[in-house]
Amino acid sequence: MMHLKIYSNFLITAQIFIHYNRLIIVVYYPVDWEKTVKKECKRRRYSDRTAQTYIYCINKFLDYCKKDLGKISKKDVREFLEKMSDKGLSGNSMNTYHMAIRFLFEQVLDKRMWIDIKYSKVPKKLPIVLSKSEVKTLIENIKNHKHKIMISLMYSAGLRVSELLNLKVEDFNFKESFGFVRQGKGMKDRLFIIADKLKIVLLQMCVGKKKEDLVFASNRGQKYSSRTIQEIIKKTAKLAGINKKIHPHTLRHSFATHLIENGYSVSEVQALLGHKSPETTMIYLHTSSSRMLNIKSPLDSL
């Protein structure tokens, strides 16, 4: 019995024996595949949520197959996905299961299993957006000062939750009224605009901190969780009487829609959102009615 180390950063065990003068190696995959998936996701800088989702989906698949990793075939994958489809899973869910299984075999186990299955179509739905008056009411109903600034910045710059929570003092250029999103979705850097209404208060929050310090930290000096931001928006929306199913990303949708309404071009909004394709940004053309105005953060026109 011997151990072999492969480049995917985990150990496999191989039993070597001779049969009819031929060297035969039987490979056994690692028992703790979950740990390996987490490590590979971390190496690729995927979010913890993505890793957890992949592990959940893979566990569902393995429970269905009831086979060792080395004995699973493309037929097993196809049958599992077909079963999930028969249960009425949405296109998004089907795609997530598909990607998780492919990630396990192709990226983690280095097993070139090409799964020739077309991804399920995801129904195209227009995003839920808030009107400008609803955004204003939402922000006004946030009692905690720091929380109010965080939510205002998310909307005013079109930031994702993770981008907001990862902001550091060095990411702001107050003189030029812009900031940097470092290693955002798709590992891309991009600029974001700082609304005039927020510049002074953000500058005050950065005073006395080191350049590598987080701009927003809890009273214990720890990083906020995405769940905290979700709860802030959910509770405030209820308090403000906003009868829409909203979440943090709704502010990003609203930011983009309001920019289109204010006369921005699709290419300008695309750059601010960090979208790879203009087609992704064009959906906001359907949630707005254009009006030509000089470019400015939508927060400054509330």
247 labelled catalytic: no
**Which of 160, 168, 253, 258 does the annotation list as catalytic?**
160
Is 220 a known active-site residue?
Answer: no
The long-range contacts involving 48-53, CB below 8 angstroms and separated by at least 24 positions, are: 49/226, 53/96, 53/100
Say which amino acid occupies 126.
L
284 is known as an active-site residue: yes
- Choosing from 60, 102, 185, 209, which is the catalytic residue? 185
Residue 227 is a catalytic residue:
no
Distance, CA of 275 to CA of 258 (rounded, Å) = 17
Contact 123, 76 (CB under 8 A): no
182 is catalytic: no
Please tell me the distance from the alpha carbon of residue 180 to that of residue 274, in angstroms, as a whole number: 11
Can you name the residues that pair with 26 across neighbouring β-strands? 15
- Catalytic one among 98, 148, 252, 253? 252
Q: Where are the alpha helices (DSSP H) in the chain?
A: 33-43, 48-65, 74-86, 91-102, 132-140, 145-157, 161-165, 196-206, 226-239, 248-261, 266-273, 278-281
Is 252 among the catalytic positions? yes
User: What letter represents residue 80's amino acid?
Assistant: F
Q: Which residues are marked as active site? A: 160, 185, 249, 252, 275, 284
